[in-house]
Amino acid sequence: MGYSYASQLDALNHTLSDLKGDINVSFEFFPPSTEAMENTLWASIQRLKVLHPKFVSVTYGANSGERERTHSIVKRIQSDMGIHAAPHLTCIDATREDLKSIARDYWASGIRHIVALRGDLPHKGYKTDMYASDLVTLLRNEGDFEISVAAYPEVHPEAKNAQADLIHLKRKIDAGAHRAITQFFFDVESYLRFRDRCVAAGIEAEIIPGILPVSNFKQAAKFSAMTRVHVPSWMQKQFSGLDEDPTTRQLLGASIAIDMVRILRREGVKDFHFYTLNRAELSYALCHTLGVRP
């Protein structure tokens, strides 16, 4: 006979005896494309607000419609929700004057934290004369922004190799970025090795691990294929046969994410960035179990 729901939660809590709730969390959201998705977004932000995140970030698309939604959402989070908002800002399909104007508008709205990114190329062969390091420099010249940038423990898909990718990260930090937030990963060792390589390269900025709690394995596998994130074989086996069992998927996803945080906390990591996919339930449950509570 398998574990009951209650006994599974009890076993999960026993693995957390070494956590004291002494971690900081932040959350990522994306602009909704429908009214129903927008309602879900605001309900999720309201739900997670009580956990006092250090900030919440909002992703940013290259097309003007999604950009405007990002601007609107970020300003509302900052003004109505009382949470520090950190909008993503990308170089792709924007002039330097466009970027300066956006930065000034954010500053005037009280937003002081920006996640500076190059952005996804719209098509193969697209040429850009700006990179994330250039955007960091531009933002530093426009205001005393707190700036986060992206990092890739398993190497950016477009990088020539791991060393070249590390050089790009160092350029961003040297340009004035305060921290790096990683792409999600499932192999904790990949993050720890990457952090060691950053230290060896002279990168002293904090490298915040990005955690993707998984409740839909097929979706997570699709994301992983797009970003070349390794999905361990043990993880595939654990989710096998659970396509029609969302409750067990939630429990399993929570268990995996909590184990990751537990190991990383033992390795000295204190800040964690959760990719919510605009849903609060799993992230809230994780944080509550980890001791991050209202």
129: number of Cβ within 10 Å: 7
Closest CA to 23 of 210, 271, 273: 271
DSSP state of 50: T
β-strands 271-275, 206-211: how paired? parallel
Distance (Å, rounded) from C-alpha 211 to C-alpha 153? 12
Q: Where are the beta strands (DSSP E) in the chain?
A: 24-29, 56-58, 85-90, 113-117, 146-151, 179-184, 206-211, 271-275
28: annotated active-site residue: yes
Q: Write out the E strands in 104-177.
A: 113-117, 146-151
Cross-strand bridge partners of residue 180: 149, 207
Contact 19, 265 (CB under 8 A): yes
Q: Residue 203 half-sphere exposure, CB side, CA atoms within 13 Å?
A: 26
Residues 6+ positions from 86 with CB-CB distance below 8 Å: 26, 55, 56, 57, 58, 74, 111, 113, 114, 115, 146, 148
Residues with a catalytic annotation lie at 28
